[in-house]
Amino acid sequence: MLKVGLTGGIGAGKSEVSRLLVECGAVLIDADRIAREVVAPGTPGLAAVVDAFGEGVLGPDGSLDRPRLGSIVFADPGKLALLNSIVHPLVGARSRDLEASAPEDAVVVHDVPLLTENGLAALYDAVVVVDAAPDTQLDRLVRLRGMTEKDARARMAAQATREQRREIADIVIDNDVPLAELRQRVRDVWDGLVRKGHAARETSPE
The pLDDT value given to residue 205:
59
pLDDT at 22: 97
Work out the pLDDT band at 118, boundaries 50, 70, 90: confident
* CA proximity to 101, closest of 8, 206, 205, 1: 1
Domains of the chain: 1-26+106-206 (3.40.50.300), 39-103 (no CATH)
Helix (H, G, I), strand (E, B) or coil at 26: coil
pLDDT at 163: 94
Query: Can you state the angle between helices 44-53 and 66-73, rounded to 10 degrees?
Result: 50
For residue 168, the one-letter residue type is I
Residue 86: predicted pLDDT = 94
At 203, the pLDDT band (50, 70, 90 cuts) reads confident
- For the chain, helix, strand, coil in percent to 5 are 55, 15, 30
> How many CB atoms neighbour CB 54 within 10 A?
10
**If you average pLDDT over residues 96-100, what whole number do you get?**
91
Residues in the chain, overall count: 206
DSSP 130-179: EE--HHHHHHHHHHTT---HHHHHHHHHTSPPHHHHHHT-SEEEE-SS-H
Question: pLDDT tens across 1-56, in order?
Answer: 999 999 999 999 999 999 999 999 999 999 889 999 999 999 999 999 999 999 99
The model carries a pTM of 0.81
